[in-house]
Amino acid sequence: MSANPSEARVVRAVHGRSPKPADPAYQAGLAEELRQSYGRAGLIELYGRFATGDGVVDGLMRKAIWQAITRRCGAGLQVAGGAGFKHPETFEIGDGVFIGAQAYIQGRFDGTCVIGDNVWIGPMAYFDARDLVIEDSVGWGPGAKVLGSTHTALPIDVPIIRTDLEIKPVRICAEADIGTNATILPGVTVGKGAIVGAGAVVVSDVEPFSVAAGVPAKFIRWRSENDPMTNMSREGRS
């Protein structure tokens, strides 16, 4: 036990250090059988039966249904209870992705949603995934959000909710880390290895390997190898 109870501890990452994932041999066949037997509408209905359970079968079926219904889905997917989706047929998901409890990915029928390898998505995250790319080894904090579109609010004599939507691409580059309850607004690119602080509202691009925080988010400093508060080890992200 530490002599100073308030002293911070540094422990090894789990998700970031996991070996290359592999699925059981039968899983690809299960996903294909579900795809052929149920079709998209049937798979969405079937998902409801397993969406919230914590048992082994629930977790397996969530994973198999995601693999069956998405455009592409890699090995080692983990989907926690309560995670949901809309228009999953537009999703492309890499290897070793974790999707936390009650996270929700809202695609669009003609949209793009790409999630790279080794991405960790925290509980209750929300993605307005109309034109969204999250590259490899991104950490996404609990409750953090992406907004991919806004109403034009024109003409002004029409209720805003009835005006057209303007969709802008959001790009989260490899190895970035998005803090708890941060919000990424439409059109933003978060650069490689950047850190977005907890609760930040990001209205403009974040430079690679920088730290941004606040409302609205502003540049705080550059990440540094000798700054333990902001250094995310590349080894830990591999």
Selecting among 15, 151, 192, 218, the annotated active-site residue is: 151
198 exposure class (CB count in 10 Å sphere: 0-12, 13-18, 19+): middle
- Picking from 106, 172, 138, the residue whose alpha carbon sits closest to that of residue 16 is 138
148 close to 129: Cβ distance less than 8 angstroms: yes
Residue 87 annotated as catalytic: no
CB atoms within 10 A of CB 121: 26
The CA distance from 202 to 99, in Å, is 22
Helices 56-69 and 25-50, axial angle in degrees (round to 10): 100
The CA distance from 218 to 221, in Å, is 9
DSSP annotation of 206: B
The CA distance from 59 to 44, in Å, is 15
What positions carry a catalytic annotation? 151
